[in-house]
Amino acid sequence: MAFLSIEFGVFVLLVAGASFFVEKICDAENFAGRVLLFVASLVFYVCADIRFLPFIVYVSLVSYASGFFLDSASRKPVLFLFVLLEIIPLLFFKYAPFLSGILLKKSISVFFPLGISFFTFQALSYTIDVFMGKVEREKSLVTVALFVGFFPFVTSGPIQKAHNLIPELKKKRAFSYGNMTCGLKLFAFGAAKKLLVANALALYVDSVYASIAQSHGCALFLASILYSFQIYFDFSGYSDMAIGIARFFSFDVERNFDHPYLSQSIGEFWRRWHISLSSWLRDYVYFPLGGSRGSKLRCCLNLLVVFLVSGIWHGAHLNFVFWGLLHGVFQCAERLLKPVREKIGAPSWVHVLVTFVLVSFAWIFFRIERFDDAFFLVRKICAVPQEILQLVSAESVWAAKDLFKEFFGIDSAAVGFLAGFSKMVLFLGLFVAVDVATKDRDGLEIVGTKPLLVRWGLYALLLWTLCYLMLFRGGDALSANFIYNNF
């Protein structure tokens, strides 16, 4: 049951109506409301594939059991045992094909349970929070299972921490017009990010990356830059939709992205990008390792371990490991060179540009599965100055136009020159402008200050666009899956 489907819209409305009715008549502890949301989450997950169900049930049961043992014993070997039991399914499904290819010289094929990385991290959060005393052992299995597999977050996050979400689950929530409309607006804006920007960028990026050997350096350079925006609008769009659904049900969930491409350092980037994962790794990996305490060398080692874990979490391929280590190296270099950066005193826009270039360079290794292909792509990008020189030295405008279309690969059937490429640039520019304008203020607050006619005009335009894409161009508009569904 995809977020961007009529079936999901009907599902949410039915669950919301039933939920608010049940919570209105249930007791203060809201157990009946939790049972309803738990059943709804199971239905949502089973609709994806009933084969996935045993794994989320297993992880939920192990997490629930860990509360009893850690609450009474609170010993590190017990914690280690339950952490291992919780991550065994994740390790198997993510790394069995990779390890079998190395050990057996034949890669085994296994199906990948939807959202296993995300609900496993949710489960680990509960177990570790109980061990650390941040949350009390939960007596209700339904509450733990709902925390692990709450349907807005189960497939691709944002990852929630037990000490934040479990108290929210126990609250008795009444119908709130403000929360419902705010949730719908967040959902609609997230859908617009996905349908209008990410999917349009995917057409160009995928067409170029599918033929690296035949593509010119300019096309690969442009595709690599655009992929940075594609993954941002794709994943932040999903996060906005998930948070919007939670807000629709009157859950208060923090944002998962906060203008990451306006960061002035890699460290700031990771405080703004996929905030739920970054804060999870900080609280449960970086701080236990010692954090910033100790020598600079020890701090750098801790950072490398954290980003190695981040890379391995995304997948078993070497490209993910290298991508993670690359960000670790960037952060170590920033910390060691901080006095030099402060002495130079470059303008803030220079720091933003450098950070974006470094992040975009790292995304190349994230996007391409074959490690050798990534370095081949980088070598071809190095030919960009030579191609630009050919472009500006063209004998005529028509020759320059032909070279431009050839070098940037925008004459393909997948994109088209005037229609597809121009539309992609238009929507990208529009949403980038919105992102810059909302850096210091919430976008919904800005729209809320506008006159009634302007405000509802914007809402109507957004709604009409989404309805048009989903109802009349459903196959084309919804064809691209969310990138982080693969993790």
The residues that are catalytic are 314
CA distances from 347 to 18, 264, 304, 343, 351 (A): 54, 10, 28, 12, 7
Residues 414 and 223 sit within 8 Å (Cβ to Cβ): no
**Exposed, middle or buried: residue 445 (CB in 10 Å: 0-12, 13-18, 19+)?**
exposed
- The amino acid present at 266, given as its one-letter code, is I
The number of beta carbons lying within 10 Å of the beta carbon of residue 295 is: 8
Residue 228: which of 265, 261, 199, 181 has the closest Cα?
261
CA atoms within 13 A on the CB side of 413: 0
* 51 DSSP assignment: G
Candidates 268, 240, 267, 266; CA nearest to 254 is 240
236 near 211, Cβ under 8 Å?
no
CA torsion angle 101 107 113 118 (round to 10) = 20
Residue 198, burial from CB neighbour count under 10 angstroms (0-12, 13-18, 19+):
buried
Length of the chain: 487
DSSP summary character for residue 245:
H
User: Can you say how many angstroms the Cα of residue 416 is from the centroid of all Cα atoms in its chain?
Assistant: 29
* Cβ 185 vs Cβ 459: under 8 Å: yes
- The residue whose two tokens read 């209700």 is 140
Helices (H), 133-195: 141-149, 162-170, 177-192
Question: Where are the extended beta strands (E) located within 352-462?
Answer: none
Beta-carbon-side half-sphere exposure of residue 92 (alpha carbons within 13 Å):
10
